Each structure stands twice: as C-alpha cells, then as structure tokens.
Structure 1
Amino acid sequence: MAAATQQMSSLPSGLRICTTAPDIFYLPELVFGGLVWILVASTYVSPANPQGWVMFVSVFCFVMTFLWLVIFACGGHKNSSAWATADFIYHLIAVVFYLSASVILAFTTIILSGSPTIFKYYQIDIAAVVFSHIATLLYFIHCILSAVRWKSF
C-alpha cells in the first residue's frame, strides 16, 4: 500500500503539475510551440515541403502537449508506471520532431536570407527559428526529467 501511495505522489495531478518538475515545463512548451506555429503560419512559404513539416511538428506537439496537460491536470493517469513511461516516450518523440523541424527551419531561413525583397518574412523566420530552438530545449529538459522520474519507479 505504501508503494502505491508513493507512485501516485510521483505523478502529480491538479494544480500540482504547475509546481513540480518536469511538469512545470508544459506551459512554456505550449507558449513557445504556439509562437512557432503562429510565426511559421504568417510567413511566405517558399519551399512548401520543409515548412509543411515544421507546421506539422508545431501543431502536433502543441495539440498533444495540451492534451497531455489536461490529462495530468484532471488526474486521468491512474496507472502511474505506464503514464510515466508514456510521458517519457512522448517527450522523446517531441524532441526528435522539434530538433528536425528546427534544423529544417534554420536551413530554410538561411536560404531566404539572400532575397532582400522578402526581408520582413526573413525576420519572422528568424524569430521562428529562435523560438523553435527554445521549444526543442524545453522538450529536451522535460524528456530528461521524465526519464529520471520513469527510472525511479
């Protein structure tokens, strides 16, 4: 009985997710992921395929992180061990996706830097690259802390 109580206390629910690591990273991930989504959506999409991957990653991770936040906030994680594993796996996938999207977005921005007629879009793309790398870092830290939590079970 004591082991079950300890497992449930390691995965917080309700407002405690805003005060415990790694769950405190949900809100910054949503903010920076949403900024990437907005900035990429507002730019001139010259090479459509790479920008499409960036949009997919930002929208997918935004929606999944929001759902994950709601599940944890509502206490929908009854089996702590399985949810800790799923939390780690999701954030590992998000790190890989965001890292690939950040590199593609940075490369696309470098390509656009040679055209002075679309300087406004170039500036927006630079901001999107910065926020994308910040989101990647946040997901990476969350992934590491989730792995530590998962290994503690």
Structure 2
Amino acid sequence: MKKYIAGFLAGALFTVAGAAFADDIQSLIGKKIQGQTVIKVDGQVLDTAIIVEGKSYSPTRSIAEAAGYDVSMKDKEIVMNKKPVVSGRDAIAKDPVKLNELITSYKESIVKEEARLESYKKIIEQRPDEAAAYQDSIDYANSKIKMYQEWIAEKEEQLAALK
C-alpha cells in the first residue's frame, strides 16, 4: 500500500511540475506586439526585435551570426556552433606585405636589443665590479635577439612558400 501512495505522490508531483513549467513556455500566438526596436552591433543596425508583454524577442539567427556562430535547426531546436576563427597569424602568413612588415619590425627589434647589449658592455667596462648585476639583463637581451632571429627565419620561410 505504501508503494501505491508513494507512486501516486510522485506522479502528482511530476504532473504539477510539468504544468508549471508549461506555463513558462506559453506561445506567442495571439499576443499583442507592443512595440519594435532596432538591434545595433557596434553602431550598425543589425535587425529589429519585437516587444511582447515587456519582453524583447530578437531574431536569433541575425544575432548569433553577428556574434560568430553558425546557426541551424535540428529536431525543432535552434543549434548554434562557434565558427572556426582564422587567427590574425593565419591571415598574416598569407600576406607577403604583412610578412615583410613583420620581418622589418623584428630586425628593428634586434638592432634595439643589440644597442642595449652595447650599453651594458660599456657600463661593465667602466664598473667591472658590477658585471654580475647586469648578467641577467644581458642574458635576457641575448634570448630576445635569438627569439627575433628565429621569428625572422620562420617568416622568411612563409614568404618563400608564397612565391
């Protein structure tokens, strides 16, 4: 008998909860549209939304696509998937002008780091007792020069592959 009562109570609970949930998902059919508003993204008009009972309802596809999502319908559900992003690096790797600009920038950075190394060497020549204090800075500048040289080699390879 206890099982029947427990089953009845569980069934009643699910019925009440389901009805309460269904109240939240009321159809908009027959509802009065109270207004319309413009949707803007970065100052550009994207689309319009309607206002029903104080809530705005906007076009999902327009907004999702503006946010970088692919939108589709599957089994009566709207499915949004993030579009694969082409990174700035990928775009630069295919642009010879940008690659040459990067190479030039890296070479300028090497010149600056070499100048910094020279200033450290002059300080050490004038005050040899402080050489140890500058060793970390010298090592860091050398590592940056090496990094820039590797980047230049990589960009030059990408540039050669485009020809």
> TM-score, normalised to structure 1's length?
0.38
Instruction: Name the one with the larger strand percent.
Output: 2
- Asked which structure has the greater CA Rg, the reply is 2
Query: Normalized per residue, which structure has more helix?
Result: 1
Q: TM-score, normalised by structure 2?
A: 0.36
